[in-house]
Amino acid sequence: MNPPDERPSNAPRLARLSLWLPGSMFLLCAWYGRIYGQGNSGPLLPLIGLAAMLAALAGFGCGIAALCHRRDGESGVLGRGIAGLIVNSCLLVIFFAAFIGGFKKGYARSVQARESMDSVKQSLEQAQRDVRRSFDTTNGIKAEPEVFDKTVTALKKASQQMEGESAQVTEASAAYLTELQQLTRAYGAEYKKLEEAHVLDAGKLKAKEQIEQRKQVVQHFMKANEDIDRFVAESEKNFRSEMAKRKVSQTRIDREVAAFRKTSQPRTPLVRAIRASDRQIGNAMLNVLNLLEGDWGNWEYDANTGGVVFSDAAVLDKYKGYLDDIVVSGKQQVALQQRLISIQ
């Protein structure tokens, strides 16, 4: 017959551990929450959450082991073991429910983000179709920045439904497109003023002072045109800046800029060439107005032909040359716009 085992049992220690492990995590969580507050999760919260879950699993195991190894006469083991099982079971249920809730929430957010990005793609395609429809073989593309309103809205919505750097990059894209849209809207407003001013209509010039007003209209249009050209010329820098403002990592910035460059490279030279043609048209208009101003009193408007008659043939040749520059630049711009549309 084997003698009874006189060594002390580990059951009391295991029973205490089954309560001490979750209790210590409660104290740690309370201390951490006091430091960072309820409104800030803090940088180590995911690690503390994982540690709490592992502590609950360990405490649950200790409670089972304590009950399995309990010997007769060991006081407090049964009560502590059962209490440990109950506490740690409740914690595991809470963790499991939180995990399922977080998974569902994350899945729902990913679905929403995917749907929002699909909406961005659809709005871009619609904007491109609208631009194509607005193109006229005589007058070119009509400036309508409103066609990108839906795209900007979709980008902003997508950024709110994404997480991490993807949300920051999408938000930066929305900011970049918003700034470009504002410049385009300003250009459209100045272009409309230029059209309505009829700056080259000499028949309505009754005083020399009117020419200065017309020159200002042309100069405002040219400034709006230069603002767009400058923004497009520095498009990569502007996009990079928007991401840097939002603390996107340098690696991600470089990757996004490379993708941006690949997409924009075929278009940027055409866009800048279109802006250059507007610059040529503006300069030619100013040359016409300067000529009319400088030769004031030596020319007259012919209502029958709708032209201007100059007393000096050399001045007339310059006048016709400037008008030809406007026509040629206008035709070049239409051709450039057509090429741009073809690669959208």
Segment 277-291, tens digit of pLDDT:
999 999 999 999 999
Residue 84 confidence (pLDDT) above 90: no
Residue 104 confidence (pLDDT) above 70: no
Does the predicted TM-score (pTM) go above 0.75?
no
Over its C-alpha atoms, the chain yields an Rg (Å, rounded) of 37
Q: How far apart are CA 94 and CA 102, in angstroms?
A: 12
Whole-number pLDDT of residue 156: 79
- CA 200, 204, 205: angle at the middle one, nearest 5? 80
Q: 7-11, 208-212, 213-217, 328-332: which range is least confident on average?
A: 7-11
User: pLDDT band at 153, cuts 50/70/90?
Assistant: confident
Query: Does residue 197 or residue 52 have the better pLDDT?
Result: 197
Q: What is the mean pLDDT of residues 309-319?
A: 93
Backbone angles phi, psi at 304, to 5 degrees: -70, -40
Q: How far apart are CA 340 and CA 163, in angstroms?
A: 35
Contact yes or no for 288/200 (Cβ under 8 A): yes
User: pLDDT band at 298, cuts 50/70/90?
Assistant: very high
The predicted-structure confidence for 28-47, as pLDDT tens digits, reads as follows: 566 656 665 554 455 555 66
- Within 8 A by CB and 6+ apart from 189, the residues are 224
* H or E element, residue 299: strand 299-302
Whole-number pLDDT of residue 190: 95
CA nearest neighbour of 71 among 20, 18, 22, 14? 14
Whole-number pLDDT of residue 36: 58
Whole-number pLDDT of residue 117: 60
Q: What is the mean pLDDT of the chain?
A: 79
- Using CA atoms, how far residue 236 sits from 153, 182, 258, in Å, is 22, 18, 9
* H or E element, residue 300: strand 299-302
Residue 6 confidence (pLDDT) above 60: no
Residue 342 confidence (pLDDT) above 80: yes
CA nearest neighbour of 157 among 104, 194, 205, 118? 118
The predicted-structure confidence for 112-144, as pLDDT tens digits, reads as follows: 556 556 666 666 666 666 666 666 666 677 656
Q: How far apart are CA 110 and CA 162, in angstroms?
A: 7
Whole-number pLDDT of residue 39: 46
